[in-house]
Amino acid sequence: DAMVIQNPRYQVTQFGKPVTLSCSQTLNHNVMYWYQQKSSQAPKLLFHYYDKDFNNEADTPDNFQSRRPNTSFCFLDIRSPGLGDAAMYLCATSRDRTGVGYTFGSGTRLTVV
Amino acid sequence: GQQLNQSPQSMFIQEGEDVSMNCTSSSIFNTWLWYKQDPGEGPVLLIALYKAGELTSNGRLTAQFGITRKDSFLNISASIPSDVGIYFCAGQLQNAGNMLTFGGGTRLMVKP
């Protein structure tokens, strides 16, 4: 089945140690998004790629970076995780700028110790 | 950012009861999406609405895109225990491309 796959499902990292979360999609969607979701809150958009065009939200901290080496993969890099970065990180895709087919992955829960 | 007002924030109902939740905004939306999120999982799309006035059903779920394009509701009929979870509305603003604005979520609890 076509889907959005996030690995790992659970990630534990040390305070200040760089960590990378990954997302892959078999939907051949042009747009990929990264969201941060804290407990019982709505997802908050960090940034998105439209094809290779990177779009950062104004309030996304510099500590968060992203890479999209090809259509299928997108990575979220947290350069120096702090305790406040512990959250669920959600990857999503959509076919194009109209948002048709907006699909979320199952998420990666990040714990910072 | 733009806010979507989702209500109620939480509901505790008896199995078999019908449920209604809604989202409102002062801005116009092109698309309304309703998602359900189980603990530890990503949101799963329930219903997508693309036209003002559109009424769409998915099993026991029914959602409508408000005529004014500023609101939407989701109804669940004959609730069952597996309906438990957090329901989010999300919309695409008229002039914000493909960005989604999320409501604050409705936490549904069903008593068997």
For residues A65-77, average pLDDT: 97
Dihedral (Cα; A78, A82, A88, A89), 10-degree rounding: -10
Q: What pLDDT is recorded for position B96?
A: 66
> Looking at beta carbons, which residues of chain A come within 8 Å of B88?
42-43
Judge whether A6 is closer than 8 Å to chain B, CB to CB.
yes
For residues A3-11, average pLDDT: 94
Give percent of chain A above pLDDT 70: 97
Judge whether A40 is closer than 8 Å to chain B, CB to CB.
yes
Q: What pLDDT is recorded for position B8?
A: 97
Write down the mean pLDDT value for chain B.
Answer: 92
Distance, CA of B12 to CA of B15 (rounded, Å): 10
Provide the shortest C-alpha distance from residue A6 to chain B (in Å).
Answer: 10
Q: What pLDDT is recorded for position A13?
A: 96
Alpha carbon B62 to chain centroid, angstroms = 10
- Asked if residue A4 has pLDDT above 60, the reply is yes
Q: What pLDDT is recorded for position B98?
A: 65
- Asked if residue B1 has pLDDT above 70, the reply is no
Q: How many residues does chain B have?
A: 112
Q: What pLDDT is recorded for position A96?
A: 82
For residues A95-113, average pLDDT: 88
Q: What pLDDT is recorded for position A72?
A: 96
CB A23 within 8 A of CB A42: no
Provide the shortest C-alpha distance from residue B18 to chain A (in Å).
Answer: 23
Q: What pLDDT is recorded for position B92?
A: 87
pLDDT tens for B14-43 read 999 999 999 999 989 989 999 999 988 999
Q: What pLDDT is recorded for position B21?
A: 98
- Asked if residue A112 has pLDDT above 90, the reply is yes
Provide the shortest C-alpha distance from residue A77 to chain B (in Å).
Answer: 19
B41, B48, B105 ranked by CB distance to A42: nearest: B105
Distance, CA of A85 to CA of A42 (rounded, Å): 15
